[in-house]
Every structure is written in C-alpha cells, then in structure tokens.
C-alpha cells in the first residue's frame, strides 16, 4: 500500500509559521515523522506540499486513478475550495483530513470544512501527531 500525504498552502513554512499555533516542527521533520509511521506500519508513504491549487488537484486525480489512500491537510482551501472537495470526492481509497490546530477553537471561518463531508474521518487539533495517527489508521484498514 502507498499512502499519499498531501499538504496545502503555507504548510511548507511549518516551524517558522505562527509557531504558537502550529508548533516548531518543520515540514521536513513532519515528512520524516510520516515516513517513520509508514515504516512501522509496513506501508510506503510519500509526502508532498504545494501552494498551488491546480497542482493539488492533479495529485488528488493521481490518487483517484491509482486508488491510493490520502492524508490531506488542505490548509485554508479546506474552508472555501469546492474544487478541492470535488477532487476528494473522486477518491475510492480512504481519505483522512488532518488539521494541526484545533480549527473549532479558532475563527468562525475555520469551523466549516468542504472536505469533511467526503472524508473517511477527520483528525483535528492533535498537532503534527495527527499525521502518524492517520497513517496508522489507514494501514489498519
Ligand atoms: C490548518 C488550519 C487551517 O485553518 C489553516 O488555514 C491552515 C492550517 C491546520 O493544519 O491547522 O493552513 O489546516
């Protein structure tokens, strides 16, 4: 099994970006954490990040065509992108939506997700630890 971990806009700046909200783990550290979880669970994990919506949609199409499970943190797109949600709706393998921060404790505009309705499940507010948890859950399916 190959799991795609897809991170959206501004997540490449983890570690530098609002550390009080997102912590000090860099995207590189996060990728290592995900790969370690994959090794422990015996699944291949590939981590990607983009600030470009079209590129993210292309990766989701690839996951749909290859029936690959996805862990997705769509960042701000979560809250307004019907195009990302439409791409997620085409996935046939499990999709876990992850948010590092507890979006429900934050501004109202972060309370709604277009992705949750098409996700298998959602992990919110557990910091970067949400990613290995999502990978472990996927590996057990
Ligand atoms: C986020 C929460 C979003 O509201 C925000 O736009 C992000 C990160 C999170 O991981 O907590 O970019 O998805």
Reported ipTM: 0.99
Q: How far is the CA of 84 from the centre of ligand 1 (A)?
A: 15
Instruction: Give the residue-averaged pLDDT of 61-84.
Output: 98
Is 99 a known active-site residue? Answer: yes
Token representation of residue 113: 């997700």
Mutate to test the pocket of ligand 1, among 21, 110, 126 (most ligand atoms within 8 A of CB): 110
Residues 73-132 have pLDDT tens digits of: 999 999 999 999 999 999 999 999 999 999 999 999 999 999 999 999 999 999 999 999
Q: Are 1 and 127 in contact (CB under 8 A)?
A: no
Q: Which of 60, 71, 65, 92 is nearest to 136 (CA)?
A: 71
Nearest C-alpha neighbor of 47 from the set 111, 117, 134, 115: 134
């Amino acid at each position: 099994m190959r799991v795609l971990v897809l991170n959206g806009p501004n997540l490449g700046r983890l570690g530098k970006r609002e550390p009080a909200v997102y912590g000090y783990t860099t995207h590189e550290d996060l990728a290592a954490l995900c790969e370690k979880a994959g090794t422990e669970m015996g699944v291949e994990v590939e981590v990607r990040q983009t600030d470009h919506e079209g590129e993210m949609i292309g990766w989701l199409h690839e996951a749909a065509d290859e029936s690959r499970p996805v862990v997705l943190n769509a960042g701000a797109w979560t809250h307004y992108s019907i195009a990302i949600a439409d791409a997620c709706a085409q996935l046939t393998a499990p999709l876990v939506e992850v948010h590092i921060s507890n979006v429900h404790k934050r501004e109202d505009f972060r309370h709604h997700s277009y992705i949750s309705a098409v996700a298998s499940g959602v992990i919110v507010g557990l910091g970067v630890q949400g990613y290995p948890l999502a990978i472990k859950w996927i590996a057990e399916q």
